[in-house]
Structure 1
Amino acid sequence: MAEIIGVRFKEVGKVYYFDPLDNKLNTGDRVIVETARGLECGEVATPNKTVDDAEISHPLKPLIRIATEKDLNHLAENKLKERDAYRICEQKIAHHKLEMKLVNVEYTFDNSKILFYFTADGRVDFRALVKDLASVFRTRIELRQIGVRDEAKMLGGLGICGKPFCCASFMGEFQPVSIKMAKEQGLSLSPVKISGTCGRLMCCLKYEQEAYTDLLKHTPKVGAIVNTPEGRGLVVENNLIAGTLKVKLNNTPEDAAPKSFTVKQCKLVKDGYIKLDKKEMEKFKELE
């Protein structure tokens, strides 16, 4: 067992464990710790608590100090420097005619490095840009290419639901989302309806997937053959939430409308299955 504190370096970012030594800290306290990037100022997301050694993936680094007023002022100064660095970098990108979009700039707390985050459709040869930036800022320069989901998380915004992006408001890490989830949830496979502002599948498809997976175990799928109180038929539509089925009965005329039954009224003979054909897979591959 080990006593830890959880520290977050971005407003909605991953929480890292550190050794608090003999300090008692509360949520929201600012602290200075050493990371792979050097000294960093973070916010306590998890106050002192004891965790099992199995939860610690590497040796805990100790807390350096609780942030002082001087540290916080230095952090504010870095934020102002980041704005200037962003403007200068944009000018340099235009000068070198590079096909890349600058997203964000970060100074490490000790000013030993400046990180420039950008998006691009493919690989970019930015070696000349790095040399140019190094000559201006006289410090280590690092350019990192990020994906569109990371861009949305950094910049924030409003989703189609009218609320702030999940990734920018409470999601620490992205969860895998697939087009199969949209299919199993009976959603319209329209890119406009199932993709977020970032252009990828909406993260919220993951939230209820566990419930839909469980419902699918007990609900005949479209294409299933079932016995109903009025005879055998083919399931042409199901409503997982309501627990109802629309069944095309074998003993009715070809043009007769399907009849509705509850799942409890029907006995499964042969289940159907959910599949994506090759054309659908190719069409939605870029959304995942």
Structure 2
Amino acid sequence: MQQYILNQGTSNPGVAGFKGNTNQKLPVVNWLADLPETQQESKLVEVQFKNTHKGYFINSNDIILSKGDWVAVEASPGHDVGVVTLTGRLVLLQIKKNHINMERYEVKRIYRKARQSDLEKYEEFKAKEYSAMIRARQVTQELHLDMKISDVEYQADGNKAIFYYIADGRVDFRQLIKVLADIFRTRIEMRQIGSRQEAGRIGGIGPCGRELCCATWHNNFITVSTSAARIQNISTNPLKLAGQCAKIKCCVNYEVPAYKDAIKNLPPHSTVLNTMEGDFYHIKTDIFNGIMTFSSSPNSNANLTSIPVSRVNEIISINKRGEKVPSLTQKESEKTGIDYKNVVGQDSLTRFDKDKRKKNGRNKGNKNNGKIGKNNKNADENKGNNDNKESRKNDKKKNNSQQNRENAPENINNNKSS
């Protein structure tokens, strides 16, 4: 019997509020999960179904629920199965964040925690969703409808199937619903979504290397125009601005308010600065560093000069008085002459070479002194050796002469006897 165990992949598995964020679209963190009193403040529960599909249900039976629990909820018709993502006080904050009017929102009930049989049936119909999407696309082509079936979501009990589609204009799909109902033998519901919602349901990795914002946290889709890129001095190349939905990336809008606030204090781009060197035209602006770049030609980047915004405002005020400044970078109070100091002849070009020669001379002298000392030592040793040899020779001569004198009387006696 198959067991359904929710993934526990989090940075802090020991905290209950982090459970179940793995492989989920629009994941949330119940950072109040360890405070039991906050769980009793509201009976509303946030339940997530396939991909980014979420709903809010009331826990009228006071079932003890926590994040990651599978529950069977009321549907029309029948029932559906989803995963609890938020409980308690944070549900009210989530509803406020998503701008949901609870007076017009139809709040349905949570029946019970899902049984094993409910989950097995849920998996059975979930396995049919891809083939149903392919078959529905074939039917739309046969009926020549200008629309694209993006996704199919079966209800857990199989009583209803939701077909998500994308279309540029109004589509009459009444005949399509009849054909699909005959094919799949269930109730058919058509829901139109935009390209951004489709990218969020499918998911993916953006050019920044992170998971798509529309699949992780962003659910308030607004129009993004090329003017947002121009305000930030971003290239309007469509290939670079487009996301996986083929629309301008949502992240282009993120920093627009900060740029608008900074631009309020900057001169307009049409500003022309009049100087004695000629007129200079605006080319680009480093908004947050407060530096503007001007060119002497309105149609080319010739003689580019970058000056701070304070200097630009100063030149504009001077031009309004009918006067011209000498140049963009030079102020009137500054001297026009070149200020320099003649330092030629103060230091010798060979001052370092002299030190080197002295150093080399000292080293060479020390080296020669060492050689002379060594030679003197060798000479003394040789002289001592020669003296020893001479003394040994003299001693040997003395010994020989003494021996001859001792042997002389014996030789005389021998001669006489003979």
Task: For 1:262, give the aligned amino acid.
Answer: P
The partner residue of 2:70 within 30, 33, 44 is: 30
Going from structure 1 to structure 2, the CA distance change for 1:89 and 1:3 (only over 3 Å counts) comes to: closer
Match of 2:80 in 1: 40
254-263 or 168-177: bigger deviation: 254-263
Task: Give deviations 1:174-209, integer Å, cap 9, x for gaps.
Answer: 233222211111111222222222221111112222
C-alpha distance in structure 1 between counterparts of 2:241 and 2:187, whole Å = 41
Structure 2 residue aligned with 1:87 = 134
Report deviation, 1:79: 0.6
SS in 2 for 1:65: strand
Please say if residues 20 and 48 of structure 1, whose CA atoms lie closer than 8 Å, have aligned partners that are also in contact. Answer: no
User: Which residues of structure 1 form unaligned runs of 5+?
Assistant: 271-288
1:180 lines up with 2:227 in the alignment: yes
Secondary structure of 1:26 counterpart: coil
Instruction: Give 1:99 deviation, angstroms.
Output: 4.1
Question: What SS does the corresponding residue of 1:261 show, helix, strand or coil?
Answer: strand
Q: Are the aligned partners of 1:235 and 1:248 in contact in 2 as well (CA < 8 Å)?
A: yes
Deviations 1:142-200 (A, max 9, x none): 23343322322222333333443321233223233222211111111222222222221
Contact 1:92–1:129 (8 Å) recurs in 2? yes
**What is the distance in 1 between the residues matched to 2:78 and 2:232?**
45
Q: Which has the larger radius of gyration?
A: 2
Aligned match for 1:20, one of 59, 62, 65:
59
Deviation, 1:2, is: 4.2
One-letter identity of the residue aligned with 1:261: I
**Bigger shift: residues 156-165 or 67-76:** 156-165
2:307 alignment counterpart: 261
What secondary structure is seen at the aligned counterpart in 2 of 1:267? helix
TM-score between the two structures when normalised by the length of structure 2: 0.53
Matched, 1:205 2:252: yes
Range moving further from structure 2, 115-124 or 196-205: 115-124
Question: How many Å separate the matches in 2 of 1:111 and 1:120?
Answer: 26
Sort the Cα spacing of 1:256 and 1:157 in 2 relative to 1 into closer, same or farther, 3 A: closer
Match of 1:4 in 2: 44
Alpha-carbon distance in structure 1 between the residues aligned to 2:146 and 2:44: 44
- Higher relative CO (Cα under 8 Å, sequence separation at least 6) belongs to 1
Task: For 1:38 and 1:227, locate their aligned partners in 2 and report how far apart those are by CA, in whole Å.
Answer: 77
Amino acid at match of 2:307: F
Q: Secondary structure at the match of 1:222?
A: coil
In the alignment, what sits opposite 1:133?
Answer: 180
Q: Percent identity?
A: 36
Q: CA deviation at 1:246?
A: 1.4
Distance 2:74 2:311 in 1: 63
| Cα 1:154/1:33, change in 2 over 3 Å | same
Q: Deviation digits for residues 65-93 of structure 1, max 9, x if unmatched?
A: 22232222222112112233223323433
1:196 counterpart residue number = 243
Hey, which of these two has a bigger chunk of strand by percent? 1
CA distance in 2, matches of 1:201, 1:255: 29
CA distance in 1, matches of 2:59, 2:174: 40
Identify if the C-alpha distance between structure 1 residues 233 and 23 changes in structure 2 by more than 3 Å, giving closer, same or farther: farther
For 1:39, the aligned partner's letter is: H
Give the CA deviation at 1:264: 4.8
Distance (Å, rounded) in 1 between the aligned partners of 2:43 and 2:267: 50
**Residue 52 of structure 2 contacts residue 215 of structure 2 at CA under 8 Å; is this kept in 1?**
yes
Which has the larger share of helix?
2
Cα deviation for residue 133 of structure 1 reads 1.9
CA shift for structure 1 position 257: 2.0
